[in-house]
Amino acid sequence: MSAKEADRVANLQRAMQLIADAVEDLPVECRDLAGNALLNIAAEAVAQDVGCLEAGRIFARLADLLARGLQPPAREAMTLGALDS
């Protein structure tokens, strides 16, 4: 992993921790909606970052992993390219 990739993963892990902490601070009545809200935000951000076509491919790979009972870790960063495995 290059230094640039390592920095990106470290920043991703920090962002994930900040988001997880923020979800815990949500009002109780909103917490069960946090996953859906984050998914909507994530889908838009990924589409803006890599384009709609590539975002579709990424989410298709993610859907395949989930269908096989595999789940990305919530506390460890996984780059979008890691879904290729």
pLDDT 10s digits, 2-15: 888 888 888 888 98
Q: What pLDDT shows up at residue 81?
A: 59
The dihedral sign for the CA sequence 15, 61, 35, 45 = positive
Specify the pTM. Answer: 0.66
pLDDT 10s digits, 32-78: 999 899 999 999 999 999 999 999 998 998 888 889 998 777 666 66
